[in-house]
Chains A and B, each alone.
Chain A
């Protein structure tokens, strides 16, 4: 019985490893700038609301046919409604790390045929987020988790921002579906910096990140006969 289980595991591993092509990120941006009234890189008061706007720089499967460098279009991202649960502190003194979890929140991706987005200072303003949310909504989803990590010791003020996404809509929503017709969760991830020379007044973080479709590795059902056949 044990050998049967071992063989089954080996088969599943073999099936998952073979033929898997590792594509680039489904969506890559460069960058997203975020803002949150009342917050600093080291403290996000409970109840604060984080928002951000960004420009997509690259697409891959399942959006590989979209050309982010097409000058007649722009693809933009808007994240909003992320409610701070307050910042917690690890360590202290010269090695202090700050973690903030957020609840709620949505993400939207737009295709705009009249490129006009710019990271105008001190959002919200006439152009932000307005110029990032015009056009066609191609993808929307809800965050299932969202966390920022910062610290007081990195020379270039760097940390991480990551969250999970449940896709819910948009004209390209069905492209997030797996073979069973269900949307694959999204992994929103990347590094953040608040290093002044790369910041714009009024924003709190610059996020260099991407979205991966986090589908579980598919398995294939088969009979022992079929399996043995593959080795004959």
Chain B
């Protein structure tokens, strides 16, 4: 009896969780600014060719609740890696590239005792990514359905992906509840910055959003049954 009641209760929670009309608000998780490049780069004359790897790294100037950051004492950097181009399609001047799953991580490094991040040139190099992935792994997560759209005529584009938090000190210290770990990211990209460090492909300006937890409602059995009468 108890088992079936629990099962039904859980079922009701799921039912309410999936109920239409419960529009989930999204909150900004963090904001990132940096550059991207390919490694491995199978064809340097082409960006996003199948089999090439996508990497982006840079700084995280904005971190928001539930993250607890100290931007005065620490430098926060990001690193997107593990993405491999699996398909590419050209539509007019646009190139649409899809990637395998990868990761997006944020690192926390002391400004006083750590190593300042340095792009260097022609990455990967002695400082990039190493100086962007040192220190404490603050938060990390998976990127899936990563898709990059780039206009070769204008030299500008964008990417987006699903994001899910999987680890980092902000998880282990309990700052990110289990029901607030899914979200998404997007970024604008451009090859039109004249002073981009040599060897990088585009500048990147992006954000990560977290989905709000889906609300549940407390109901009596009578109230529930009344819904179906």
Bound pair (A, B): yes
Residues of chain A whose beta carbon lies under 8 Å from any beta carbon of chain B:
17, 20, 22, 24-25, 28, 30, 57-58, 90-91, 95, 97, 99, 147, 149, 151, 153-156, 158-162, 187, 189-193, 196-198, 207-210, 212, 214-217
Residues of A within 8 A of B25 (CB): 197
If A30-B28, A57-B61, A156-B160 touch, whether A97 touches B188 (CB-CB below 8 Å) is no
Whole-angstrom distance between the alpha carbons of A190 and B151 in the complex? Answer: 13
Q: How many A-B residue pairs have CB under 8 A?
A: 142
Residues of B within 8 A of A22 (CB): 119, 195, 197
If A99-B151, A189-B188 touch, whether A214 touches B28 (CB-CB below 8 Å) is no
Whether B26 and A161, one on each chain, are in contact in the complex, defined by CB atoms closer than 8 angstroms, is no
Task: Kindly list the 7 A-B residue pairs having the minimum CB-CB distance in the complex, ordered from nearest.
Answer: A191-B188, A90-B92, A91-B91, A190-B188, A158-B186, A197-B26, A58-B61
- The stretch that binds A, out of B45-53, B133-141, B205-213, is B205-213
**Extra pairs beyond A22-B195, A162-B192, A190-B188 (10, CB < 8 Å):** A24-B33, A30-B207, A95-B91, A149-B157, A154-B147, A159-B149, A189-B192, A197-B23, A208-B31, A217-B195
Whether A209 and B119, one on each chain, are in contact in the complex, defined by CB atoms closer than 8 angstroms, is no
Residues of B within 8 A of A196 (CB): 23
If A154-B160, A189-B156, A208-B31 touch, whether A24 touches B59 (CB-CB below 8 Å) is yes
How many Å from the CB of A204 to the closest CB on chain B? 16
If A159-B158, A216-B194 touch, whether A149 touches B96 (CB-CB below 8 Å) is no
Residues of A within 8 A of B197 (CB): 20, 22
Whether A158 and B194, one on each chain, are in contact in the complex, defined by CB atoms closer than 8 angstroms, is no
| B interface, size bucket | 35 or more
Residues of A within 8 A of B189 (CB): 160, 191
Whether A158 and B33, one on each chain, are in contact in the complex, defined by CB atoms closer than 8 angstroms, is no
Residues of chain B whose beta carbon lies under 8 Å from any beta carbon of chain A:
23-26, 28, 31, 33, 59, 61-62, 89, 91-94, 96, 119, 121, 145, 147, 149, 151, 154, 156-160, 162, 184, 186-190, 192-195, 197-198, 203, 205-207, 209
Residues of B within 8 A of A208 (CB): 31, 186-188, 205-207
